[in-house]
Amino acid sequence: MILKVGVSMPTSFSSLIYAFPLPSVLIGESEKIEALNPPATALLGLDATGRHYITVIRQPAVLDAVEQTLKDGMARNARFLGSEGLRDTTWRVNVCGVESISGPMTLVTFEDVTAVEEAGQMRRDFVANVSHELRTPLTALLGFVETLRGAAREDPVARDRFLAIMEREAARMAQLVDDLLSLSRVEAEERVRPTAPVDLSALLETAVQAFSPMATQNGNTFRLDLPPDPVVIPGDVRQLQQVVSNLLENAIKYGGRDKPVDLVLSAPMLEPTIRTEGVHLTVTDHGDGIAGHHIPRLTERFYRVDSHRSREVGGTGLGLAIVKHIINRHRGRLRIESSVGKGTRFSVILPAR
């Protein structure tokens, strides 16, 4: 397809592409760049007016497309990989013949498709992670079914032991599916802030009771510090229970044996980070802590600091991703501070009204 443009001078073309928001480059019949707009100068890193296009674009896929279009004027697409600081960017390049009185020209425009590419990559990573997490317990289950049918058929001791392992692996899969479902539910609802009154003081007392058996088994004691008056905030009670459960479970699993776990709730006060009155809920353990470079990544799905150890204690790396989405939905903030060898503090700041 050849675009017919009703202007006769290349300079008019220049002013036309100056008005384009997308990076645009106009190549003349002589294969030299007749004009390019400021977004193109920024993308290509230089003002290349008057230079041969090969010395400026330098990516084979795009060069091929331009070369062909210079010959036949047909429209083509190609991919161009750029970079913006440390971030890689991907561009869909449209190459198209245009006709002017001074001769045929080729217009090259760049459309930023980085976000689309990133979303695709995230989806692929997610599917790969989920499949990997399910495959491990499934392989174990299938292996034990095989053994129970064969070698262990008449051995009641082995059978009981294998059944116990199978139960644990199946429970792990069920937990993974539950976590994935809560994650997608919270994400779907994230735009709607929950408003039902939730008594956080009572919620914390109940959570501490619920986790007491697990804590006792691990030698942990909870030290709960609540303000004198009940703290009631707008929220979704089940989701806030989940936040507290996930943080307490982590404090027990990763906070070391025989150590206290501190839970502190503040009374509402003016909270600059959320620009309104808020409450602080902190869960502090006195375990091994987390090295600084892991901290920003803890809330990513499936991210585990020590994946072997975490998997041993039954973790899939979804707990903190869920926590973060729930807090976002409540328009709150999550802060993580840790010092290696001393322990970790998770602070949740939630709007009080």
Ligand X SMILES: Nc1ncnc2c1ncn2[C@@H]1O[C@H](COP(=O)(O)OP(=O)(O)OP(=O)(O)O)[C@@H](O)[C@H]1O
Nearest to 332, CA basis, from 275, 262, 294: 275
Expressed in percent and rounded to 5, the helix, strand and coil fractions of the chain are 45, 25, 25
319 binds ligand X (CB under 6 A): yes
The C-alpha atoms of residue 270 and residue 41 are separated, in whole angstroms, by 47
Q: Which two tokens stand for residue 92?
A: 């869909």
316 binds ligand X (CB under 6 A): yes
Going by their DSSP bridges, the two strands 103-112 and 87-100 should be labelled as: antiparallel
Q: Indicate which of Mg ion, ligand X, none lies near residue 290 (CB less than 5 to 8 Å, by partner kind).
A: ligand X
Nearest residue (CB) to Mg ion, 105 versus 334: 334
Nearest position to ligand X, beta carbon: 319
Residues binding ligand X: what is the number (CB under 6 A)? Answer: 23
The C-alpha atoms of residue 155 and residue 112 are separated, in whole angstroms, by 64
Q: Indicate which of ligand X, Mg ion, none lies near residue 23 (CB less than 5 to 8 Å, by partner kind).
A: none
Q: Indicate which of Mg ion, ligand X, none lies near residue 255 (CB less than 5 to 8 Å, by partner kind).
A: ligand X
Smallest gap from Cβ 190 to ligand X, in A, equals: 18
- Alpha helix ranges (H) inside 218-297: 237-254
Smallest gap from Cβ 180 to ligand X, in A, equals: 10
Nearest residue (CB) to ligand X, 76 versus 172: 172
Helix (H) or strand (E) holding 207: helix 200-217
The C-alpha atoms of residue 180 and residue 218 are separated, in whole angstroms, by 27
What is the largest distance, in Å, between two alpha-carbon atoms of the chain? 92
Nearest residue (CB) to Mg ion, 319 versus 332: 319
Among 37, 69, 250, 282, binds ligand X (CB under 6 A): 250
Asked if 239 and 195 count as a contact pair (C-beta separation under 8 A), the reply is: no
Q: Which two tokens stand for residue 176?
A: 């993974």
Q: Which two tokens stand for residue 132?
A: 């990997």
Terminus-to-terminus CA distance in the chain, angstroms? 60
Binding mask 147-186 for ligand X (x = CB under 6 A): --------------------------------x-------
Nearest residue (CB) to ligand X, 128 versus 171: 171
Which residues of this protein are in contact with Mg ion, per CB under 5 A?
250, 319
Nearest residue (CB) to Mg ion, 179 versus 236: 179
Among 254, 324, 326, 352, binds ligand X (CB under 6 A): 254
Binding mask 290-309 for ligand X (x = CB under 6 A): x-------x----xxxx---
137 binds ligand X (CB under 6 A): no
Q: Indicate which of ligand X, Mg ion, none lies near residue 236 (CB less than 5 to 8 Å, by partner kind).
A: none
Burial 268-293 (b: 16+ CB within 10 A, else e): beebeebeeebbbbbbbbbbbbbeee
Nearest residue (CB) to ligand X, 100 versus 338: 338
Smallest gap from Cβ 315 to Mg ion, in A, equals: 5
Helix (H) or strand (E) holding 164: helix 156-189
Among 56, 62, 186, 251, binds ligand X (CB under 6 A): 251
Nearest to 242, CA basis, from 198, 192, 304: 198
Interface positions with ligand X (CB under 6 A) = 179, 246, 250-251, 254-255, 285, 287, 290, 298, 303-306, 310, 315-321, 344
